[in-house]
Every structure is written in structure tokens, then in C-alpha cells.
Amino acid sequence: MKYKVQVPSTQGWADLKGTIDDGENYEVELFDTREEAQASIDSIQADIPDFEGRVVTEDTEPEGDLY
């Protein structure tokens, strides 16, 4: 089981994605452990203190899409 980060959107929770080719395409960022996913949230919050996110298992369906 892998983990991912979801962020709130106007349609509900959306998967956090990263670009794989300078913004042409985006893929869900998956982490091997819950701790690694939480570290990603913590890293973002260091730069954006009001950033909201939650750690979920990779099979948790998003309610919306930001990309």
C-alpha cells in the first residue's frame, strides 16, 4: 500500500500531483510510507504556512481534480 496527499478544492479533496515534464503532464505523487507523505505536507507548510493537506491511502478516490 502506498500513500498520497490530498488537498481541499472547490469540489472536495483532490490529489496532489507533480509535473513529470515541465507542466505538460501531471501525475499523483505516491509515497511508500505515511510518514513520507506527511513529510511532504510539512515541507510545503514550511513555505506556505496555511497549506492544508491530508494523507490518505492510494486507493482513496479524489472528489475533484485541480489539473
**pLDDT per position as a tens digit, 23-45:** 899 999 999 999 999 999 999 99
Alpha-carbon distance 65 to 49, whole Å?
22
Burial status of residue 44 (CB atoms within 10 A of its CB: 0-12, 13-18, 19 or more): middle
Question: Percent of the chain beyond pLDDT 70?
Answer: 100
pLDDT at 55 over 90: yes
- In this prediction, residue 66 carries a pLDDT of 87
What's the whole-number average pLDDT of the chain? 96
Please, are residues 2 and 32 in contact by the beta-carbon 8 Å criterion?
yes
Cα dihedral 8, 40, 29, 18, rounded to 10, equals 80
